[in-house]
Amino acid sequence: MTHKSKYISRFLKFMICSCISFTVLMSKTTLINAQELKQAEQDLKYYSELTPERALVMFKAYLYSFDGMTEERVNRYINQIKKLPVEQQAAKIVELKKPFEERRVRENRLKAIETLTEEIRGKFFFIPSNVKENYISLIQSAPLEELEKYREELQALDKKNSLMADVFLKLREELFKMKFLSQSEKNHYDDEMESAYNDKNEYMLQSVFKRAQEANEKARLKAPETLLGNAKANAKTKIERLYAMIDAMDHDLKPLPDTAFYQGYKPFWKQYQSMRIPKEAMLKELEKQKRVEDVESYISQKVMQHMDYVSLEYSARKALSLAKLYPNVASVQKHLAEDIFKTWPQGDISGVSFVSDRRLQRIELAIQEYKNQTKKPDEPAKPVVHIKPDVPAKPGAPVKPVAPVKPVAPVKPVAPVKPVAPVKPVAPVKSVLPEKPKVLIKNTWKKINQKNYYFNQDGLPLTGFFNVNQKLYYATVEDGTKLGWHKVNKKWYFTEQDGLVVMGWKKIKNQWYYLDNSGVMATGWKKVSNKWYYLGESGAMASGWKKINNKWYYLENSGVMATGWKKVNHKWYYLENSGAMATGWKKINNTWYFLEPSGMMATGWKKVNQQWYYFNDSGAMITGRHKIQGKWYRFNENGVWL
């Protein structure tokens, strides 16, 4: 190659490199916004003000803050800086930081996208699944600064839909209260209302409800006989359940005469034996009732009274049966010997039945504790790490579904009626303490002016909270002891007529309340005997569907929080271990299910994210070749119809 050719070659290389450098420089310059320039200036000022040694230490700490950073790589950067004059080291640090800052921005964006994706799938209860998936697709390519805008859009949409959900649940509650529509008619209108709700068409929702009202009114004008028949059928069901309980008892078991419980229970035992009548006689008496009101009165006064006696007898017999099996277990025999009638001095059958049932629970708990103490401990199993699964766009291949075990077409939950706050006492008129009697009374109860007080060692009546024989009582200056609620230091207590502070479960005006070991009325979530209950602001125990912190829970008639599969109004729902109602895709025992936004388990054909799936009567997702209504269909391993 000639000298001239070498010169031309070098010149061309120089020009190409210059162009590339200029292009890169210009592209980088355009990407640097004012905020980045300002940050670079601040960094330069910060490192310039530090000593060289301190600046290197801070930069090294900065490098180690990144995942995957090695000591070798850190030392390589530090050596680059040390080779430069001291006055140039701060600028070099800022230069080296730049790609790391860009990496941090990328990582923050990915983390923000991941967080928002989890929020979309786990929150926003009232946004349909297909809309959620559309938003998830959009945010994958969105810049960091736009993610908050999407979050605000979702929050607004969820709030808007939640308002409609409240309307839907309220109308649905009213629909199922209509007395003159048959169950099939209610289900028909409910399906139409659900369809309108899923389409977010409030006008159609209101129209369907109006038609249901008109149909109910027409039926009302010609249905007195039908209504009476339904009331009698309901009463017959209760009577059948009552005598089924009687038949299930151990009638040969006799109570132990040496227990304190027996002495209090004996009058109830004799009383019920004298009032018990054959089932046929009770049904015959029911048929004589000519009005719906008479039937309802018969149920409350006769049938339910029998039910309380039967429950009392059942719990008493069961307690005696269990105690005979564990004669040497002190805790079991202690509970068996309890005189529960001292804790329920009113003597009404409903309260006695409840207290007896609680005593049975204590005996069962004592037996379980005894078994746990005497059982040889197993070698602990290796703990399993539970990773919360993301709801996939397409579920993984489920196992072949088994024969359906759940019924077809269950009904959506009815929003629970908000519990009514207990009637709390009005502050009484202030009065003075009762006069000290002329004959000094010490350490005993005494009625003065028809009011009950306890006099201490000095002969003075006690007020407020005080202990007598290791039991807590409460009395006021004005009334002494009395039955009812008391508000003390912003906390509610309930006392019996003799002033005894109630602790544990208490039924007051047909509502159950729980008072803790200090007598304070509980509200909110409460764990009792390893079971969760929810008590409203009024303290009343909740039952049925309950919305708490934007999540739906189901509480049994006993108040116990439900978990797992639950059938409500002929439809199936799934409650997580936390009790929260599940929605969307759910993998249970290696089988995939789909739960509607209402929580109802899907069956039959279902379109999810523009793809069709089929769920059998048990709710299990179908895969492979399957015959539906006489025709064969094929589904891939993810359940998608091919």
**103-149 pLDDT per residue, tens:** 888 888 898 998 999 888 877 777 777 788 888 988 898 888 888 88
Task: Give the per-residue pLDDT at 289.
Answer: 87
Residue 491 burial (CB count, 10 A): 11
- If you count them, how many residues does the chain have? 642
Task: Give the per-residue pLDDT at 33.
Answer: 58
What is the C-alpha to C-alpha distance for residues 642 and 636, in angstroms, rounded to an integer? 7
* Separation of CA 46 from chain center: 51
What is the C-alpha to C-alpha distance for residues 309 and 341, in angstroms, rounded to an integer? 15
Question: Are 119 and 132 in contact, with CB atoms under 8 Å apart?
Answer: no
What is the C-alpha to C-alpha distance for residues 170 and 193, in angstroms, rounded to an integer? 12
The stretches in the chain having pLDDT less than 70 are 1-36, 222-225, 248-263, 339-348, 350, 375-441
**202-260 pLDDT per residue, tens:** 888 888 999 999 998 888 776 666 778 878 888 888 888 878 877 766 555 555 555 66
Task: Give the per-residue pLDDT at 253.
Answer: 55
Q: Which one, of 233, 546, 272, lies nearest residue 416 by Cα? A: 546
C-alpha dihedral sign at 451, 454, 458, 463: negative
Task: Give the per-residue pLDDT at 377.
Answer: 53
Q: What DSSP line would sit under 609-621, residue for residue?
A: TTEEEEE-TT-PB
Angle at the Cα of 536 from the Cα atoms of 530 and 538, rounded to 5 degrees: 125
Residue 400 CA: distances (Å) to CA of 425, 585, 602, 637: 61, 17, 17, 10
Exposed/middle/buried for residue 206 (C-beta within 10 Å: 0-12, 13-18, 19+): middle
β 604-608/611-615 pair status: antiparallel
What is the C-alpha to C-alpha distance for residues 634 and 642, in angstroms, rounded to an integer? 6
User: Which residues sit opposite 488 in a β-bridge?
Assistant: 491
